[in-house]
Amino acid sequence: MRVTGGNLKGRRIAAPGGRDIRPSTDKLREAIFSIIGDDIIGARVADLFCGSGALGIEALSRGADYALFVDSSRRNIINLKKNLEDLGIMGNSDLKVMDALKIRPKMLENLSLVLADPPYKQGLGDRLISLFCLPKFDWHGILVLEHEPDWVYARKEMEILNRKVYGDMAVSFLRKKS
């Protein structure tokens, strides 16, 4: 897997082995960051359910100032730390071994973008949206959620700003309603 854009374009990202990892494809990452455009420059982002960290690494490569990486697997975080060190961007990053659904509001302070690629067919995207819509979460950034193409957003607290389907994966851009 390689970084698809920015100052690290073409550099390798080593993905941890195992069946629990489904890294975002190059095509999907390119599409996500094409939609985000120049808004990534100077942004502070989180990559939840980060796995290989490809989304957060892509954000940093394209001009984000900071990335918080969260994954429940220590093995994934160890692999990601090596990638960040090899790419020279560890100084712009924080890594947390924790369940992304246990993220606290304080961790999202000053973040404008949350990139989330939870495992499919487990309802984790819906649970993440429910968490972000709790009154204690006074976060009003953009949630970029990767999901299966047949996922349906049935809540009212957030609005879908954009949704794209790419074969057996899809991505939605959501924002909490004011």
Whose tokens are 């957030």? That residue is 158
Q: Contacts for 81-87 with beta carbons within 8 Å, 24 or more apart?
A: 82/14, 83/13, 83/14, 83/52, 83/53, 83/57, 84/53, 84/57, 87/3, 87/8, 87/11, 87/13, 87/57, 87/61
Return the closest-CA partner of residue 115 out of 178, 38, 52, 177. 52
Q: Of all residues in the chain, what percent carry a pLDDT higher than 90?
A: 78
The pLDDT of residue 178: 74
The pLDDT of residue 137: 87
Rg (CA), the chain: 15
Mean pLDDT across the stretch 16-21?
65
Mean pLDDT across the stretch 156-172?
92
Mean pLDDT across the stretch 94-112?
95
Q: Which amino acid is at 69?
A: F
Mean pLDDT across the stretch 126-140?
90
pTM (two decimals): 0.94
Residue 156: pLDDT band (50, 70, 90) is: confident
Mean pLDDT across the stretch 151-167?
91
SS3 173: strand
In this predicted structure, the answer to whether residue 62 has a pLDDT above a threshold of 60 is: yes
Write the DSSP symbol of residue 174. E
